[in-house]
Structure formats: C-alpha cells, structure tokens
Amino acid sequence: MTTRSRSAERLERLRSHVVHTPLRIAHRGARALVPENTIDAFRKAIELGSDMIEFDVHLSRDGHPVVVHDDTVDRCSDVKRRFPGRSSYFVSDFTLAELQSLDAGSWHVEQLNLPAHERQPYLQLLRPDELSRYVSDVELRWFKSGNVRIPSLAEALSFFAETSILINIELKTIPRMYPGIAQKVIDQIKLRGLESRVLISSFDHEQLRTVRALDANMVTAVLTSDRLCALTTYLDAIDADAFHPGCYADFDTLGFGSVDGTLQLQHVSEVLASGRWVNAWTCNDESEIDALIRAGFSGIMTDYPNRFGPP
C-alpha cells in the first residue's frame, strides 16, 4: 500500500461525519462569540452547524493535557489576580487543579465591553447584530459569572463523545516542548473511542511523526505559517494526511494580502490533487471565505462559524 492510499483510507473514516463541503471548522470553538477553547465555545460551534472544531492542547505542571491556546494563561483568565507576583504565567507553571480554579470567561465579556478598536484583533470584527443574534443575555451573564473553566482534554473529549462532530486537536509544543504530549493525547482519544473523528495537527512536525509512529491510523495535518514547497513529497515523507496553510493577517500564505490580492495556490492545488485535505486557517472575512470555497479548499477555519451561512 502506498502512503497516498493509506492517507485516502484514513480520510475516508472522517468523511462519514462531514455535512458541508468545504468543512466548516470552528477555530477554538465559536471564539468570536464565546470565550475561546471552552466547552461553551464548542457547544456554540455545534449549534451554528460546524463540521469540525479546532482547539489547542498544552500540558499542566502535573502533566495533564489541557485546552488552552497561548503558552501562558494571562490573556484568557484572571490568573494574575489569583496568583499575583509570579515571574511567569506559563500553562506549565500551574497544576491542573490550579488552572481549573481560574475564571476563563469574564475576560471575554470585558473585551466585548471595550470599543471595537481596543479589543483583541479577532474581536474587532464582531458586529453588534451578530452578538445580539447569537449570544443571549443569559449566556453573557454566565460568561462573566466566574464559573467558566479551562477544560482538561479529558473533559473536552468526554463532551465530544456525546456529539458526532469532527475534532482537530492542535499539539502546542514549540517552544515549550512538553515531554510525552503526543502519547498522552492519543491515549485519551483512544480511551473514548474517538479515533475515527480526530485529526491531529501541529506546527511541530516532529510531533506528527511521533503520532504516526504511535498510531498508523490517526489522521495528521501539517500546520504551517510558511509557504512550503515540494509539499506532496513532504507529506509522503512523514505520512501526513492534510495541509493547514495560514491565510490570517501576517500568516497569510495564500495571497489575500499580496500586492494584487490574487490567490496563489500552486502549492495547495498540488496537495488537493494528491487526495489530501487542505484546510485554511483562519478566515473571518465573508468574501475571503467565498474565495476559498470557489478555490476548492477541503476546509476553512474561522472564529465566526455563523459567517458560513445557515447550519
């Protein structure tokens, strides 16, 4: 069996869970509407008709996989108030119990209360009509209640086990290089029998080789903010199934930010022609989403899953 036919077989298993083409992928959940990388954000993404949810995993000080994006927890929690005077606020400075004692919701409402131009960049695009249509007052009160928590991977996967949605787990290793993170994540996926719904991606392609060595059937994706060449050869070499190119702000490698604004897709077309998936991250502009759909992408990640249209 060739690497391409193995890859086709692995992707086929995921395909039975796909509703839309291209895949509607909610980035860190529906994070423009709900505090990112929380169970609430995942629930909202499902309500909005997503096919797949992307989220990020780090390891706590006591070695538990946890769902957080940044290397540190200060942007999306009250950690500085709860643990003042620390010299650093890395995820790996805190035990799972400490991380789960943090308020992971109020910061989002504080952001929404700022003038748009003062918010974090992805929230500057949020329109008042979207907020009022997709987020209720009850939800806003919950987000600022102090009770929204950082999920452990175990909790997130238990939530997903009750759904039929696809899951993109991004292993965050650079620069923290968490020992054994791939093995721990795979163990938890298998514990819940979620293998046929998971795609593992990483900017650290060594992790993808580790995943492949640990499990011949896990779907993997090369995640990058570079415009790589000889991509199909590279995907063959590490036996990966998908390519996740950046199209967001300074990470745009597809041409949206180019001098003439023309999409430059030679590298992407080559991968699609080889039968692999190409899922772009992270597109929040409706006209750019349309351009990616017309260009034949397999999937599109967005912070605004409502912008794909009705579920």
Write out the catalytic residue numbers: 27, 69
Q: Shortest distance, CB of residue 252 to ligand G3P, whole angstroms?
A: 12
Element (H, E) at 300: strand 299-302
Smallest distance, Ca ion to C-beta of residue 187, A: 21
Contact between 36 and Ca ion by CB under 5 A: the answer reads: no
201 binds, among Ca ion, ligand G3P, none (CB under 5 to 8 A by kind): ligand G3P
**54 near ligand G3P (CB under 6 A):** yes
Nearest approach in angstroms of CB 126 to ligand G3P is 17
CA distances from 246 to 71, 138, 153, 169, 252 (A): 20, 35, 25, 16, 5
Q: Using CA atoms, how far apart are residues 43 and 46, in angstroms rounded to an integer?
A: 5
The residue range among 56-64, 186-194, 258-266, 295-303 that interacts with Ca ion, by the rule CB under 5 A, is: 56-64
Residue closer to ligand G3P, measured from CB, 51 or 170? 170
Q: Is residue 288 a contact residue for Ca ion (CB under 5 A)?
A: no
How many CB atoms within 10 Å of residue 250?
Answer: 7
Q: Is residue 204 part of the contact set for Ca ion (CB under 5 A)? A: no
Residue nearest to ligand G3P (CB): 281
Tell me if 170 contacts Ca ion by CB under 5 A: yes
**Rounded alpha-carbon distances, angstroms, from residue 103 to 34, 36, 99:** 14, 12, 9
Q: Is the dihedral of CA 291, 224, 55, 109 positive or negative?
A: negative
- Are 176 and 90 in contact by the 8 Å Cβ rule? The answer is yes
Angle, helices 231-238 vs 205-214, to 10°: value is 40
Q: How far apart are CA 266 and CA 51, in angstroms?
A: 26
Which x/- pattern over 236-275 shows residues binding ligand G3P (rule: CB under 6 A)?
Answer: --------x-------------------------------
Assess contact for 12 and 285: CB atoms under 8 A.
no
Options 40, 170, 241, 303; binder of ligand G3P; rule CB under 6 A: 170
The answer to whether residue 56 forms part of the interface with ligand G3P (CB under 6 A) is: yes
Rounded Cα distance between 29 and 111, Å, is 17
Q: Could you list the residues that contact ligand G3P (CB under 6 A)?
A: 27, 54, 56, 69, 170, 201, 223, 244, 281-282, 301
Q: Could you list the residues that contact Ca ion (CB under 5 A)?
A: 56, 170
